[in-house]
Structures are given as structure tokens and as C-alpha cells.
């Protein structure tokens, strides 16, 4: 995860967390506000637990879990009994989050870790969205306008446009002044070095270059606009 890139951390969690076994405690620390007023949190999302800072890291992953209203909760970590004795101001991963996660994994109930500030899916969503809201694509007359939300290590540009917004047939994808016609299923359907659009393995529309780096080729950054015309 690049330094301070909360969004990249959130996207990594979205893609990896659901594939761990039920009961897993995930510790996630991308924490530029460490030691400041941002709260340390522990969450339950369905059968998974998450521990880390209240800065948006856990907003994407929430969308990956089935919503059972009674199996969602957020606790503001305040019970120092489960922390290291000496807590630094700059490394809560070591001093708060890892020890709390260790206790959780040994069976300490979530509610003992601090103050319960959300007890159901609606409230959890509200708490998480307060620090960072995933930008939603906007509907247009014949498609949608979204944006690049992640660039992976291959240079693939993942957008916030989910598969259901992209029609079968020959939609036109516009990005960085380029037009891509049609959505492919595999990279190998185009020539090496050619630009393509496909639905990536997370279920989002993705712009790629076969055996190349789309972000570099297009000069695209996170936040840049992507338009779908169906």
C-alpha cells in the first residue's frame, strides 16, 4: 500500500477480506492521522472482524459482505486493558490495533474493547461514511459517469462503475480523451499493447493495456473521469 493511501488500503481489503474464513480478525493500518483525534475502531461486518483507524479504510470492504443487520457493529476502542502498556503517539498498529486484534482472536467480546457506537448495518454505514464516502457513479441518459478509484500494480485502472451499469453489446467507454468500444472478457482478446475495457475480478469496470500499463499509457490518476455510453 503506498504511504498514506487510505483508498488503496480500502480497496485491498475489499478484494481480499471476504476470502478469509469466517471469524478472521483483519488488522489494517494506513493511518496518517495516528495519535490525533481520529478514533481507533474495531468492527464486525457479518462474520469478519476489522481493527484499525476511523479514516475510511473500512468503507469499501463493507460492500463485500452480505447485510445481516444484527451482525454489524462498530466499537470505539477505549479500554486500555487490551493495549500495550506504553502507547506511542505514532505507531498504533503496534501499540493498539495488533494487541486488540490478538485479544479479539482469543475470544474477548467486541463490546469489552470500548464503546459500542453502532449496532446494525445502517449505523455502521453511517459511521464509516462520515470519514470517507466512496464516490458513486452518476446515471446519464444512456449510461453512467464514474471515476478511477484504484490503479493496481499492473497499471490497470479500476473504476467505481459496477458490471450491471455496462450493457452487453457495444458500449463505448471514454477515458482520458480515448474511446474504447466494447467490453472484453480477457486481456488476450486484444493485441499486446492495445487498450481494452473489461469487468475485472472485483466486479468493477476496468481499463487495461494488454501486457502493458494502462495508467501510464493514458496518464490517468485516481479520481479521473470514466464515462460509459451504452
Q: Which residues bind its own copies (CB under 8 A)?
A: 3-4, 19, 32-38, 88-91, 94-95, 153-155, 185-189, 198, 200-201, 210-211, 213
Nearer to its own copies, 71 or 187 (CB): 187
Q: Is 117 helix (H, G, I), strand (E, B) or coil?
A: strand
Nearer to its own copies, 15 or 44 (CB): 15
Nearer to its own copies, 96 or 128 (CB): 96
For residue 78, give every residue at least 6 positions away whose Cβ sits within 8 Å of its Cβ, in sequence order, or none.
Answer: 113, 114, 115
Q: What minimum distance in Å lies between the beta carbon of 19 and its own copies?
A: 7
* CB-CB contact of 145 with 138 (8 Å): yes
Q: What minimum distance in Å lies between the beta carbon of 60 and its own copies?
A: 17
Q: What minimum distance in Å lies between the beta carbon of 138 and its own copies?
A: 26
The C-alpha atoms of residue 151 and residue 148 are separated, in whole angstroms, by 8
Q: Which three cell numbers stand for residue 66?
A: 452480505
Q: What minimum distance in Å lies between the beta carbon of 155 and its own copies?
A: 8
Q: What minimum distance in Å lies between the beta carbon of 33 and its own copies?
A: 5
Nearer to its own copies, 35 or 135 (CB): 35
For residue 142, give every residue at least 6 positions away whose Cβ sits within 8 Å of its Cβ, in sequence order, or none.
Answer: 229, 230
Nearer to its own copies, 115 or 189 (CB): 189
Q: What minimum distance in Å lies between the beta carbon of 213 and its own copies?
A: 8
Q: What minimum distance in Å lies between the beta carbon of 57 and its own copies?
A: 15
* Contacts made by residues 95-102, CB under 8 angstroms, sequence distance 24+: 96/40, 97/27, 97/29, 97/40, 97/51, 97/52, 97/53, 98/27, 100/40, 100/42, 100/51, 101/25, 101/26, 101/27, 101/42, 101/49, 101/51
Beta strands in the chain (DSSP E): 25-27, 40-45, 48-53, 72-77, 114-118, 138-140, 143-151, 157-162, 172-175, 178-181, 195-199, 204-209, 225-229
Nearer to its own copies, 91 or 110 (CB): 91
Nearer to its own copies, 42 or 96 (CB): 96
Amino acid at each position: 500500500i503506498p504511504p498514506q493511501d487510505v483508498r488503496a488500503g480500502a480497496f485491498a481489503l475489499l478484494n481480499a477480506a471476504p476470502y478469509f474464513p469466517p471469524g478472521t480478525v483483519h488488522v489494517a493500518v494506513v493511518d496518517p492521522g495516528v495519535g490525533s483525534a481520529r478514533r481507533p475502531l474495531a468492527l464486525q461486518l457479518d462474520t469478519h472482524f476489522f481493527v484499525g483507524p476511523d479514516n475510511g479504510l473500512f468503507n469499501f470492504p463493507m460492500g463485500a459482505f452480505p447485510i445481516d443487520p444484527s451482525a454489524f457493529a462498530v466499537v470505539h476502542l477505549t479500554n486500555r486493558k487490551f493495549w500495550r502498556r506504553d502507547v506511542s503517539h505514532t505507531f498504533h498498529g503496534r501499540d493498539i490495533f495488533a494487541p486488540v486484534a490478538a485479544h479479539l482472536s482469543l475470544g474477548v467480546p467486541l463490546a469489552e474493547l470500548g464503546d459500542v457506537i453502532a449496532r446494525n448495518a445502517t449505523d455502521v454505514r453511517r459511521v464509516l461514511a462520515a470519514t470517507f464516502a466512496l464516490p458513486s457513479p452518476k446515471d446519464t441518459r444512456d449510461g453512467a459517469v464514474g471515476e478511477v478509484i484504484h490503479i493496481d500494480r499492473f497499471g490497470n485502472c479500476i473504476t467505481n462503475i459496477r458490471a450491471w451499469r455496462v450493457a452487453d453489446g457495444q458500449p463505448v467507454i471514454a477515458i482520458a480523451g480515448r474511446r474504447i468500444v466494447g467490453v472484453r472478457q480477457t486481456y488476450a482478446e486484444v493485441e499486446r499493447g492495445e487498450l481494452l475495457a473489461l469487468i475485472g475480478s472485483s466486479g468493477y469496470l476496468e481499463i487495461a493495456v494488454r501486457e502493458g500499463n494502462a495508467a501510464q499509457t493514458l496518464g490517468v490518476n485516481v479520481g479521473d473521469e470514466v464515462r460509459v455510453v451504452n
